[in-house]
Chain A
Amino acid sequence: MQRLIFAFIAGGFFGAGLFVSGMTDTSKVQGWLDVFGAWDPTLAFVMGGAMIPMFIAWAIAGKRSASVLGTPLPPAPSSRIDRKLIIGSVLFGAGWGLAGICPGPSIASLSYGGTGIYIFVAAMLTGMVLAPFLRTRLDKMVPAE
């Protein structure tokens, strides 16, 4: 039960932050990505602001053996750079630039984004269901090296 309460609080902060920061405003996101147009630096402040509590949280987590509620903390990150990471990130970035919206803000703006956001989320969920098939294909490919 406590895990559900803290999941709700975390989600609430996330949703509120996405809303307040302008991350759910597609013109701000595209403005940040549009270095050859009217460049908008807001997103750098969003990312920078988000890093501060997270950096502290990782430092605290590093000194603990488990979370406050007793669940295991995430294992040390892998440093393996594979084609799935690169190809996936490039596909994601292209879609992010095209519509100006990424997964978190798409959910945060469900209540006020209008019909467009429902179409985007439906397509995103479809993509997420289809992804394992492409992932399996990429796994089977023999490395070029």
Chain B
Amino acid sequence: MEQDWIWGLIGGLLIGTGGAFYLLFNGRIMGASGIIGSLVDGSAGNTKWEKLVFLAGVVLLPILLFPVYREVDPHITDNVAVLVAAGLLVGVGTRIANGCTSGHGVCGISRLSVRGIVATVCYILAGGVGVVIFRHLLGVI
């Protein structure tokens, strides 16, 4: 538990390295919601295969790491109503805002993008208020 910040830092460096590769080699911004969303609403066009292969990498590397890495429990709730409500909010919200933690946060802030910074402040504040309401007031999470 005390060393979680080291794993956070190492993981962060890996995330940023992925974003740097995608930018410098493919000329693209690594935004998870844009990549997933454009595939499901059909707006990906001729970047469809590039995005599908990117997502294949996202799924496959954790599978390869899973057996060798420390014990992992994602602690995902089994409350179906919470999962459905959260999924809908995340899906709708990221597409309307045109980005999520990776696009607006990692790629936007590192570029000193005003939109990226404003979006990140908004979703972290909403997430913080959300946790206070859902956990401490309503007790649903």
Residues on A lying within 8 angstroms of B by beta carbon are: 2-4, 6-28, 30, 33-37, 40-58, 60-61, 64, 66-69, 71-74, 77-81, 84-104, 106-117, 119-132, 134-135, 138
Contact A81 B114 (CB under 8 A): yes
Contact B95 A73 (CB under 8 A): no
How many residues of B sit at the interface, in one of the four size bands? 35 or more
* CB closest chain-B residue, reference A78: B115
Q: How far is the CB of A123 from chain B (nearest CB, A)?
A: 3
Q: A23 vs B26: C-alpha distance in the bound complex, in angstroms?
A: 25
Given A42-B8, A113-B76, A116-B77, list of 10 further CB < 8 A pairs? A15-B58, A23-B15, A34-B128, A35-B132, A46-B11, A51-B16, A71-B26, A85-B115, A96-B101, A129-B40
Tell which of A17, A24, A107, A112 touches B36, judged by Cβ atoms closer than 8 Å.
Answer: A107
Given A25-B74, A95-B86, A112-B74; A85-B97 close (CB under 8 Å): yes
Q: Are B16 and A52 in contact (CB under 8 A)?
A: yes
- Indicate if the CB atoms of A130 and B91 lie closer than 8 Å: yes
In the complex, which of the residues A2, A71, A91, A111 contacts B96, with contact meaning CB atoms closer than 8 Å? A91
Closest to B132 in A: A36
